[in-house]
Structure 1
């Protein structure tokens, strides 16, 4: 039993190290750099030994995406739960701050799921991390649902229909937010565009020469967004 526990612990530690090295290789050489041979070389392992942990490069990438996406989903879900009972503006700001904070702490992970595709990678049927992706998608729909009572008037003349959106997206959103109309889904994508666009610029270093205070820029972007939606600015703090 002791030997079995020790083997399992060592295997878990080695698996975690393989994933850490893979992300480090991506950080230094881009997604092309993620290869099992390169990881084995950096870890001082033989190529055959590393195949005992991951049979293929795609299996490793799928596992990485699952870890990364789940970490993001846990982070934003936690921010949403922590602001239960607050107004929509506060909850949107908290979700946005959590998303940005996670991305800055995990830039390689952000790039893996939202940026640079790994050349030749083929995700398994159903996606690499379907449950985590569903949770993040539902979180964004929750932001739109919270904002909708105030933002609805802005979409009074919209011509959005259910057919304008991906069926897979609607399968995730409509059962939980049955009162949200097609324009509400468009609002969720609008919020996502603000978050993803600004965070991407920061993660990829495009803001480093333009501002010395990206945090202030981001928070003002979200403040202006919720104000434009008629919600009012988040509480100070």
Structure 2
């Protein structure tokens, strides 16, 4: 069977749904997470609030769609960068992931703030669904970087961690995808996440402005120091 071509009505509906999400991110950029309301979006688009409800039943439905899109955009980029590096080059893959994360965040600051900044007040994430699956991809990808580095990193890591030290959902995901990985590696993955995201968050929120003329170099040095701390040799990579 051939692929059916969307009707004009379907195309217009998809375009309007996409515009609603773009406007929502713009409102958040101007007024923070509180600014994402269906009434405000309707006002910006010259629509009635009732018309917006025809696309998204609730504000939370819209936020979930935004989170899904943002996570998918991010993970598609970082996974592609990681996969362009040989699988046996754990340091190179960490560098590629981290630098691509920074590039994506600077190009999509509203999206970065949505998934890694202040939570949207009152938002209740649904159990399962596309948004949770997209977030899971990001978590699994980062944990996979640590799993690849673990044979070299293990001797440098503190012990004493137990699975009960972590969120049960996170524990279940890690143990299902990386059955041989110990709890200490999960702690390491969280620390790696913190180091990768820390300088990026400072830059996205404008805190490095005026502090350095070359934030890309500072970030690359941080990534290289991170790989060395894992017992890996950080390969060359051009500043973002």
Distance (whole Å) between structure 2 residues aligned to residue 70 and residue 205 of structure 1: 25
Paired position in structure 2 for 1:151: 153
Contact 2:95 2:237 in 1 (8 A): no
How far apart are the structure 2 equivalents of 1:127 and 1:166? 19
Change (3 A) 1:236 1:39: closer
Deviation at 1:58, TM superposition (A): 1.4
- Give TM-score, length-normalised by structure 1: 0.93
Stretches of structure 1 that go unaligned for 5 or more consecutive residues are: none
Cross-structure match for 2:26: 24
Q: 1:126 to 1:236 in 2, by over 3 A?
A: closer
Unpaired runs of 5+ in structure 2?
none
Q: What does the per-residue CA deviation read over 1:12-48, in whole Å, with 9 as the maximum and x for residues that have no partner? A: 0111111000100110111111111111111111222
* 2:198 equivalent in structure 1: 197
Go from structure 1 to structure 2 and tell me whether the alpha carbon gap of 1:54 and 1:151 turns closer, same or farther (over 3 Å shift). Answer: same
Aligned pairs, number? 235
> Is 1:121 aligned to 2:123, yes or no?
yes
Runs (4+) off by over 3 Å = none
What pairs with 1:175-194 in structure 2 (closer than 5 Å)?
A: 175-194=176-195
TM-score (normalised: structure 2): 0.92
Deviation at 1:185, TM superposition (A): 1.3
2-side partners of 1:130 and 1:136: how far apart?
A: 10
- Deviation, structure 1 residue 173: 1.3
Q: RMSD over aligned Cα, in angstroms? A: 1.8
CA apart distance, 1:231: 0.6
